[in-house]
Structure 1
Amino acid sequence: MIDLRQLQALRAVQREGSVTRAARSLGWSQPTVDYHLHNLDRLVGASVLERTKRGSTLTPVGVLVLDRGEEILTLTDRALRDARDLAQMGRARLRFGTFPTAAAKLLPSIVSQVADLGIEIDAVLEEVGPLVAHMNDRTLDAALLYSVPGYALPLKADLVTTEVLRDPLMLALPEGHPLAGRSSVDLATLLSLHDERWLFGAGQDDPIDTVVVDAFAGAGHTLDVAIRTDDFQVMLGMIAAGMVIGLLARLASGPSHPGVVLIPIDDPSFARAVLLAAPPESPGGQPSTAVRQLAAAIRHAVARSEHPAAG
């Protein structure tokens, strides 16, 4: 069985570039580091290091071991930290990531609900791309993400996702636009807007923008992306000024936005799935009890946001 100290030694060599510097960074003696690395060699049946006079680098076998080992070390550190938190404060702590529009609408209610269950939330607000990376390297316990039909998130296969909301995308137009009086638009009407100036998110790989680009590309059109921003108030201001049009998710919208009209799109492709991603407690199993309680709190927060009087 792998000893955690073997993984710690391997990680330190990868970071420092030599066994001597790895020993110094760990506060161990060099023979101790060599001992654990040689035991790891024997355990896997191959050398994990390529040693030269200039230093040491990981072999392909060593890279593979460390890639898996990083998850083990991260989970071990978190298990100790969570156990200490529970022992000292009587509370469990969840590192929870969410994209900003969901945080603005849902996070206060989520935090309040899980606090009553003895769960403390450490919130991380990022766009979807960085959140996926954090989930893949296990630096978050759970994350609220979104995807659109036909565009899977690049999550590791062992992560479990649960849909907590189907969030329609709305066509956002200035009040004076010729289509502003419509109660809804179909795909053909949407595609007629190919000569408009569009507003997209700041990132080049935002799933919402991707579904729009691909829909227009399928009809032989390339969009003029005039402005890119993730600032919701900037989006509204630019649309209200008649500078651009765009799509906004219903979750992000409020009851009214002066100068802006939001119109539903009659096409199921123009909706995003809001997902809670988390690792299972065991291979092939469900997420932890705390994460399942978090999912229930998210669903309740969604219901309250859609029907405030019922909350």
Structure 2
Amino acid sequence: MIDLRQLQALSAVAAEGSVARAATRLGWSQPTVDYHLRNLDRLVGADLTTRSTRGSKLTTAGALMLERGDEILGLADRALTDVRDFSKLGRIRLRFGTFPTAAARLLPGIVTRTAELGIELDATLEELAPLVTRINQHTLDAALVYAAGGYKLPFRAEVHTTHLFTDPMLIALPATHKAVRHQSFNNDALNSLATDNWVMGSTPGDTLDDLVRETFQAEGHQVNVAIRTDDYSVVLGMVAAGMAVALVPSLLSNNPPRA
């Protein structure tokens, strides 16, 4: 069975580039670091580090072990923190992420409900791609995210997802735009806006932007991007000024999400 000290030694060597500096980082003796590294090598059946006069570095197997080991160390620290918090405060802390648009409408209710369950939220506001990354890296315990069309978010296989609600998308148009006559938009109606200027997100990985882009590309069109921003107040301001059109979530309106 893996000893957490073996993983700590490997992580310190990867960070410091030498066994001597790793020992200083950990507050251990150099022979102690060597001992744990050798035991981990024997357990794995492969060398996880290579050494030279310039220091130490991880092998390919060592890099894989480091990736998994950092997850194990993170979960171990998390377990201690949760149990200590629960024993002292009678509640646990949940690292929770969501995107700003949802936070404005939904986060207060989520905080209230989780507090009733004895869970204290440590909330983080990020755009979609950083949230997915943080879930995959185990620096968030849970996140409220979104996807559009048939897009699947690139979560690791062990991440559990569940559908919470459907939020209809809206086309934001200047009041004088000829397309305001449409009561709803299908692909044909959306493609009629191919010559308009669009406001798109500034953070890569936004599935709403991908949906517009691929709908246009299917008909041989390209998106004319007027500006990129993740701030919906800027988006709506530009639309109101007649400078662009945009695809926006109905969370921005007064319409509640549908289950």
Partner of 1:165: 165
Q: When you count strand as a share of all residues, which structure comes out higher? A: 1
The runs of 5 or more residues in structure 2 that have no matched partner are none
Percent identity between the aligned chains?
56
Partner of 1:219: 219
Counterpart residue type for residue 78 of structure 1: R
Partner of 1:176: 176
Partner of 1:289: none
1:50 paired to 2:45? no
TM-score by length of 1: 0.81
Answer with 181-190 or 133-142: which moved more.
181-190
2: CA distance, partners of 1:137 / 1:189: 40
Partner of 1:155: 155
Task: Pick closer, same or farther for the CA change 1:306–1:156 going to 2, 3 Å.
Answer: closer
1:30 paired to 2:30? yes
Partner of 1:2: 2
1:18 paired to 2:18? yes
Partner of 2:116: 116
The runs of 5 or more residues in structure 1 that have no matched partner are 256-304
Partner of 2:81: 81
Counterparts of 1:117-132 in structure 2 under 5 Å? 117-132=117-132
What whole-Å deviation, never above 9, does each CA across 1:128-182 have from its counterpart, x for those lacking one? Answer: 1111111111011101111123322111111100111122211110111112133
How many residues align? The count is: 258
TM-score by length of 2: 0.97
2: CA distance, partners of 1:109 / 1:189: 36
What whole-Å deviation, never above 9, does each CA across 1:38-69 have from its counterpart, x for those lacking one? Answer: 00011111111101111000011111111111
CA displacement at 1:306 relative to structure 2: 4.5
2: CA distance, partners of 1:186 / 1:145: 24
Counterpart residue type for residue 44 of structure 2: V
2: CA distance, partners of 1:190 / 1:48: 54
2: CA distance, partners of 1:9 / 1:224: 52
Counterparts of 1:284-299 in structure 2 under 5 Å? none
Partner of 2:252: 252
Partner of 1:288: none
Question: Does 1 or 2 have the higher relative contact order (CA < 8 Å, sep 6+)?
Answer: 1
Counterpart residue type for residue 82 of structure 1: D
1: CA distance, partners of 2:86 / 2:198: 49
Counterpart residue type for residue 247 of structure 1: L
CA displacement at 1:223 relative to structure 2: 1.6
Q: CA RMSD in A?
A: 1.2
What whole-Å deviation, never above 9, does each CA across 1:231-253 have from its counterpart, x for those lacking one? Answer: 11111110000000010011233
Helix, strand or coil at the partner of 1:164:
coil
Counterpart residue type for residue 183 of structure 1: Q
2: CA distance, partners of 1:21 / 1:247: 52
Partner of 1:194: 194
Helix, strand or coil at the partner of 1:227:
strand
